[in-house]
Amino acid sequence: MPDPTPVDPPAPEQTPTDVPEPVPEPVVHLGDAVRLRRPLRYLKTADPMPMLRPPDLVDPGEVGRVVEIRALELRAIRFRRGTFLINLTDLEPVSPDG
C-alpha cells in the first residue's frame, strides 16, 4: 500500500543574487576615533538611566572616542556634547591622519 502522507515539493535553490550581501561591521576598540555613518533619528545617552536626546547634539562629521563596549554591538561614544550609545553598524572608524 502506498504511503498516504503528502510530500512537499523541494524548495527552489537560491542563487547568490537572491541573498543580500552582509554589511561588514567595523572593528572598533576602546579609545578608537569614530564618526557616524549617517544621521540618526535620536541619540540615547550612556548614563545609568539612559534618556533619548535629539540628534543635533552630534554635528555631521564630528569625531568621537569609544569609551565603553556594551552588549549587543553597542558602543558608548564620547562626543563634544555628551556620551551616547550607538550601534556598531552606525559607526565608521576614522583614520589617524584625518
Pairing, β 82-87 against β 74-79: antiparallel
35: DSSP letter: E
Cβ proximity of 39 and 49 under 8 Å: no
- 35-84 pLDDT tens trace: 999 999 999 999 999 999 999 999 988 999 999 999 889 999 999 999 99
Task: Give CA torsion, residues 22, 58, 54, 84, to 10 deg.
Answer: 70
pLDDT at 98: 58
Residue 3 has pLDDT above 70, yes or no: no
- 11-31 pLDDT tens trace: 666 656 666 666 566 688 899
Is the full-model pTM beyond 0.85? no
